[in-house]
């Protein structure tokens, strides 16, 4: 029997655009947590690169306005999506924002960039936020102090779930009569978030008790010991998601309740009570006021009317 020689097929060299995207993702890893990196990689490696391969685009200077707008259209009609189904304007908007951020980075890095994609126009989303009474009902429905504090801390600080899960006793700060929590969130950023004195004292009592019962420095731990380690391990996001679904059912709240909704509810309440948007930006950890404008445009005409009347009737 004749022996056949195996031939080695060399992989095609990566295009200049592929290498540039790899450099961008590496640059983003310095200041971003894993979740945003996955979003960037998805938009650039799974959406932009296949589109460019089909169009014969191998370098960033070949990406014209027309090419990029064709990318947007192909995602909206489904011809450019992996599933073959049309994507929502919100999904396309997210993808194209990443593409434009990449192009802006490349331009700053000295690359010849001639194109910029148009973002699809988004309608204003109406957020069905929780009232303060509904938040109290959630807290009342919670069976343990841990669960009650999870509801109250998210509701009264506007922090993201990741910030809550990362809290330790060392993150609790008191300066005279000022109480705050140090929040660790996206891209290793830290900020101090003000809290009411009574909530601070509740959280400290709970945190000190938790430290006696567990090795972890986290404040919020699972209720049961891990069979793998025999220890109370840090609470995970999936557990909090399930907690809010259960609490909503117990409280008789017939809307979708999830941790991030309490962040939206906090911001809405803050603005409706006349809070300064610049301070809200600082509390929430947004980089610009644009996020406040985009996310909280759901305030109703009654809010605008009440604020206008207050301003016009004040001396």
Q: What's the pLDDT tens digit per position in 160-197?
A: 999 999 999 999 999 998 999 998 876 567 888 899 99
278/204: higher pLDDT: 204
**pLDDT > 70 in the chain, percent:** 82
Q: How far is CA 176 from the centre of its chain?
A: 33
DSSP H helical ranges for 253-297? 259-272, 277-284, 289-295
The SS3 assignment for 146 reads helix
248/313: higher pLDDT: 248
Work out the pLDDT band at 88, boundaries 50, 70, 90.
Answer: confident
Residue 128 has what pLDDT? 79
Residue 11 has what pLDDT? 42
Of 131, 145, 164, 150, nearest to 255 by C-alpha is 131
Residue 203 has what pLDDT? 96
Say whether pLDDT at 277 is over 50: yes
CA separation (Å) from 29 to 15, 33, 38, 94, 252?
22, 7, 10, 19, 43
Residue 82 has what pLDDT? 77
The segment with the largest mean pLDDT, out of 137-141, 234-238, 253-257, 288-292, is: 137-141
**pLDDT > 90 in the chain, percent:** 42
Please report the DSSP string for 204-245 in residue order. Answer: HHHHHHHHHH-S--BSSB-SS--TTTSS-PBP-HHHHHHHHH
By CB atoms closer than 10 A (0-12, 13-18, 19+), residue 129 is buried
pLDDT tens digits, one per residue of 1-18: 555 555 444 444 578 899
Residue 275 has what pLDDT? 79
- b/e 235-271 (16+ beta carbons within 10 angstroms → b): beeeebeebbeebbeebebeeebebebbbbbbbbbbb
Range from 111-125, 154-168, 187-201 carrying the lowest mean pLDDT: 111-125
Say whether pLDDT at 300 is over 60: no
Work out the pLDDT band at 126, boundaries 50, 70, 90.
Answer: low
Range from 109-113, 168-172, 306-310 carrying the lowest mean pLDDT: 306-310
The SS3 assignment for 303 reads helix
Of 132, 216, 220, 137, nearest to 181 by C-alpha is 220
Mean pLDDT computed over 76-88 = 83
Say whether pLDDT at 104 is over 80: yes
Residue 224 has what pLDDT? 82
Residues 197, 202: Cα–Cα separation, whole Å: 9
Domains, in order of start, for the chain:
16-108 (1.10.150), 132-308 (1.10.443.10)
Mean pLDDT computed over 285-291 = 69
CA separation (Å) from 205 to 82, 169, 198, 239?
51, 10, 11, 22
Residues 2, 175: Cα–Cα separation, whole Å: 84
Our CA angle for 11, 45, 95, nearest 5°, is 165
Residue 286 has what pLDDT? 75
Residue 149 has what pLDDT? 97
Kind and range of the H or E run holding 93: helix 89-108
**Region of 114 on the Ramachandran plot (φ > 0 left; ψ -120 to 50 alpha; else beta):** alpha
Say whether pLDDT at 95 is over 80: yes
pTM, two decimal places: 0.64
124/202: higher pLDDT: 202
Residues 271, 97: Cα–Cα separation, whole Å: 27
Q: What is the mean pLDDT of the chain?
A: 83
Residue 301 has what pLDDT? 45
DSSP designation for 21? H
Kind and range of the H or E run holding 174: strand 172-175
């Amino acid at each position: 029997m004749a022996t056949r020689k195996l031939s080695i097929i060399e992989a095609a060299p990566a295009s200049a655009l592929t290498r540039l995207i790899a450099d961008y993702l590496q640059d983003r890893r310095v200041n971003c947590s894993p979740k945003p990196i996955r979003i960037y990689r998805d938009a650039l490696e799974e959406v932009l690169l296949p589109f460019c391969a089909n169009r014969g685009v191998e370098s960033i200077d070949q990406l014209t306005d027309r090419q990029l707008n064709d990318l947007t259209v192909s995602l909206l009609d489904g011809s450019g999506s992996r599933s073959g189904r049309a994507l929502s304007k919100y999904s396309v908007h997210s993808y194209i924002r990443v593409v434009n951020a990449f192009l802006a980075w490349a331009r700053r890095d000295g690359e010849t960039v001639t194109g910029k994609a148009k973002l699809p126009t988004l309608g204003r989303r109406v957020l069905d936020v929780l009232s303060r009474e509904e938040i109290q009902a959630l807290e009342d429905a919670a069976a343990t102090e841990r669960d009650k504090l999870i509801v109250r801390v998210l509701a009264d600080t506007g922090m993201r779930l990741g910030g809550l899960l990362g809290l330790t006793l060392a993150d609790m700060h008191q300066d005279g009569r000022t109480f705050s929590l140090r929040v660790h969130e996206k891209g290793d950023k830290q900020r101090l978030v003000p809290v009411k004195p009574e909530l601070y004292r509740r959280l400290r009592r709970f945190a000190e008790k938790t430290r006696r019962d567990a090795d972890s420095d986290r404040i919020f731990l699972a209720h049961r010991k891990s069979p793998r380690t025999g220890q109370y391990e840090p609470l995970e996001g999936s557990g909090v998601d399930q907690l809010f679904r259960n609490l909503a059912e117990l409280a008789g709240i017939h809307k979708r309740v999830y941790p991030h909704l309490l962040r939206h509810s906090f911001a809405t309440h803050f603005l409706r009570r006349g809070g300064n948007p610049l301070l809200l930006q600082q509390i929430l950890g947004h980089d610009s006021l644009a996020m406040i404008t985009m996310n909280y445009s759901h305030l109703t005409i009654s809010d605008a009317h009440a604020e206008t009347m207050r301003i016009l009737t004040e001396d």
